[in-house]
Amino acid sequence: MSDPSSPPIHHNHLLDPIAGPEELPDDARQIHPISLPIFVLVIMVIELFDLVLTDRMHFAVPVNSSAGSVTKTISISSNLLFGILLLVSLGMLLISRRSTPRFALYVMVAYLTVATVNVMINVATLVITPEIGRQTQNNLVIDLALVFISITLIFSLWYQMADTHLTGGALDFPPNAAKPNDPPRWFDYFCVAFFTNTTFGPTLEGVRNRPTKAIMMFQTALSLIILVVLVARIIKAP
């Protein structure tokens, strides 16, 4: 016989909203669930940038090579996960759900993982492939801008995921004197990712835990590669 004082068991927990009130950390910091429609809009831009960059670099990675096969597999996986998230987001809008269902969290993490691997491949292609070095400066500047923005968008979602789901949160934002109870939005995490790309670290935000530090270190490493090595290629380009 079950204890009436014990919490009820939810068999449809995968449909429950993620980051609900029961998941708030002990410091009672206000955390709101990630908006899946906004998440999908951001990855739509990531997908668009990836398609443009892949089309621009198709000559550097032969389709029949091993690298070409890996790149194609990663791209297909990314498109498939994006399609799933898009369908879930449309379903939420149709049934007027205001919170993201828990099962979408696993798809979101899977997509960000694949997208991160994809941008790593793009960075490696721009840095290592000899054919890229024969491009003009203007073309290399465009490629650099596409990779830079892609990294910023991808890691903005990583920081938002970490801040929402890691115990105690991931980042400390400066308080807003005008709206002290206003929680951080996606744009706040976008700014963190942008400043990490440009200044190789946060500016005013504090990092709370080691996983977030590891994410930031990884982004900084990618930024150093594209801003140092790729800029050197741009200078040497015709």
Q: Where is average pLDDT lowest: 23-32, 90-99, 148-157, 169-178?
A: 23-32
d(CA 16, CA 203): 35
Return the pLDDT at 8. Answer: 47
Inform me whether the pLDDT recorded for 216 exceeds 70.
yes
Inform me whether the pLDDT recorded for 198 exceeds 80.
yes
d(CA 49, CA 156): 15
Of 130, 151, 150, nearest to 51 by C-alpha is 150
**Residues 6+ positions from 125 with CB-CB distance below 8 Å:** 57, 60, 61, 132
pTM, 2 dp: 0.78
Most confident of 37-51, 103-117, 152-166, 199-213: 152-166
Helices 137-165 and 103-128: angle between axes, nearest 10 degrees: 150
Q: Where is average pLDDT lowest: 11-20, 43-52, 62-71, 136-145?
A: 11-20
Inform me whether the pLDDT recorded for 29 exceeds 80.
no
Mean pLDDT, rounded, for 197-206: 81
Of 184, 8, 37, 13, nearest to 101 by C-alpha is 13
User: 217-228 burial, b for 16+ CB within 10 Å, e for fewer?
Assistant: eebbebbebbee
Tokens of 190: 């976008």
Mind listing the pLDDT tens digit for each residue in 127-168? 777 777 677 888 888 888 899 999 999 999 999 989 888 888
Q: CA torsion angle for 37, 193, 120, 81 (degrees, to 10)?
A: -10
Tokens of 140: 């290399």
Return the pLDDT at 149. Answer: 93
Sequence ranges of the domains in the chain: 32-236
Q: CA torsion angle for 88, 94, 95, 97 (degrees, to 10)?
A: 60
d(CA 144, CA 223): 10
Tokens of 137: 């400066």
More confident residue, 9 or 220: 220
Q: Where is average pLDDT lowest: 66-75, 80-89, 104-113?
A: 66-75
Tokens of 94: 């149709």
